[in-house]
Amino acid sequence: MTLLTHSSASPSTSLAARSFLRAPPFRAHVAPSTIPSPFRPRLLRLRASPRVKATLTVDSPTTGGASSPNGPPIVLLEVKDLKAVIKESGQEILRGVNLIINEGEIHAIMGKNGSGKSTFSKVLVGHPDYEVTEGSVSFKGQNLLDMEPEERSHVGLFMSFQSPVEIPGVSNFDFLLMAFNARRRNKGLPPVEPLEFYSLVTPKVAALNMNPKFLDRNVNEGFSGGEKKRNEILQLAVLEAELAILDEIDSGLDVDALQDVAKAVNGLLTPNNSVLMITHYLRLLEYINPNYVHIMEDGIIIKTGDVSLAKQLEKEGYRGISVS
Ligand SMILES: Nc1ncnc2c1ncn2[C@@H]1O[C@H](COP(=O)(O)OP(=O)(O)OP(=O)(O)O)[C@@H](O)[C@H]1O
Ligand SMILES: [Mg+2]
């Protein structure tokens, strides 16, 4: 049995991790059992430490309408005229973003440094640094902006942040198990026991070419940049989110790691789930082929097209996009 008590958020790790970490002092108690190490639960005490042709449009176009073999597309995320400011300073970063992501679609957002890409994704997951001043966001027909960050995770939103943080004192295995069971609880399903979860998680670890020992290490503690990124994708694979937001999942990865991560992401795609990835690199688009590419500038989406739009802009020397 797992008992959780929480109380503040550490913003720069995956949404799942943030939900888990909400509020110090945070404690997770896992009852002892006879399961062999390294999967023996232990008492934990946490300290929060269809393709489209390229089209050029302006003023945050909406997208969507990709044909579905089983009927009309089902809207997963709908963002309308979203404006947001930095809470502390009141500075407006998002100036009216419009975006529709249907089930089964892969979208990429590209653009120059500081154009608002990460801010947009953080606002979607409810990062406390930002305040929405106008607009709406619905996810699976529900008002996302009304939900706490952990509720957003429980309803199927996953975010991998640009810089995942470490969680001292919590093993990857225990963390994944708790996040997995929290999601099951939300779906009205009973929790799984550690042994059953072990057989569920190990093939996912293998698919990512990760050493199984990573399950017993503390979340991201001492992980290299590439290992952290793989670990984020492992969380995504375990949680089976409907919408995965991947902010610069390619940063710091060598070619092999990038291929493993891309293969894992592609392997997770079903007709019902979607990916929103943020990247500067055409190379990632070769591995995870998006249906739509959006260009963000100064807090709005100024152009939408497909991969050919990104290639065209790169050729023209557009600063936010590189080959690799
Ligand atoms: N919490 C914050 N405090 C102060 N400024 C912020 C904060 N969050 C975002 N900004 C500012 O908002 C702008 C947009 O930042 P954001 O991180 O969204 O850019 P980005 O498009 O993701 O850039 P990059 O490609 O470099 O990752 C930047 O000028 C950034 O400094
Ligand atoms: Mg960013």
**How far is Cα of residue 173 from the mean position of the Cα atoms in its chain?**
19
Which of 299 and 150 is assigned the larger pLDDT?
Answer: 299
Contacts of 44 (CB under 8 A, 6+ apart): 27, 28, 29, 30, 169, 170, 174
- Whether the CB-CB separation of 133 and 120 falls below 8 Å is answered with no
Q: Does residue 311 sit within a domain? A: yes
pLDDT at residue 1 is higher than 60:
no
Backbone angles phi, psi at 83, to 5 degrees: -120, 140
Q: Which of 7-21, 144-158, 165-179 shows the lowest per-residue confidence on average (mean pLDDT)?
A: 7-21
Once rounded to an integer, what is the mean pLDDT over residues 178-186?
A: 92
Kindly give the number of the ligand 1 atom that is closest to the alpha carbon of 116.
18
Give which of 303, 282, 165, 274 is closest to 228, Cα–Cα.
165
Quote the ligand 1 centre to 244 CA distance (angstroms). Answer: 20
- Whether the CB-CB separation of 121 and 245 falls below 8 Å is answered with yes
Quote the ligand 1 centre to 114 CA distance (angstroms). Answer: 5
Q: Tokens 């502390």 map to which residue?
A: 88
Q: Does residue 87 sit within a domain? A: no
Q: State the CB neighbour count (10 A cutoff) for residue 227.
A: 18
Q: How many CA atoms lie within 13 A of 271 on its CB side?
A: 9
Q: Does residue 95 sit within a domain? A: no
Q: Does residue 66 sit within a domain? A: no
pLDDT at residue 193 is higher than 80:
yes
Contacts of 191 (CB under 8 A, 6+ apart): 2, 181, 184, 185
Total domains in the chain come to 1
Confidence of residue 85 (pLDDT cuts 50, 70, 90): very high
Give which of 232, 272, 268, 239 is closest to 253, Cα–Cα.
232
Q: Does residue 68 sit within a domain? A: no
CATH of the domain at 111: 3.40.50.300
> What span, in angstroms and rounded, lies between the C-alpha atoms of 46 and 168?
7
Confidence of residue 68 (pLDDT cuts 50, 70, 90): low
Residues having CB closer than 6 A to ligand 1 are 86, 93, 111, 113-119, 129
Quote the ligand 1 centre to 93 CA distance (angstroms). Answer: 8
Q: Does residue 324 sit within a domain? A: no
Mutate-to-test residue for ligand 1 from 10, 12, 93, 122, highest number of ligand atoms within 8 A of CB: 93
- Which residue blocks in 127-193 are alpha helix, DSSP H? 149-154, 172-186
pTM for this model (two decimals) = 0.81
Largest distance between two CA atoms of the chain: 62
> What span, in angstroms and rounded, lies between the C-alpha atoms of 115 and 125?
18
Beta bridge partners of 83: 95, 134
Q: Does residue 160 sit within a domain? A: yes
Ligand nearest to the CA of 297: 1
- Whether the CB-CB separation of 294 and 109 falls below 8 Å is answered with yes
Ligand nearest to the CA of 160: 2
Quote the ligand 1 centre to 221 CA distance (angstroms). Answer: 26
Ligand nearest to the CA of 109: 1
Q: Does residue 228 sit within a domain? A: yes
Range of the domain at 178: 2-60+104-126+143-315
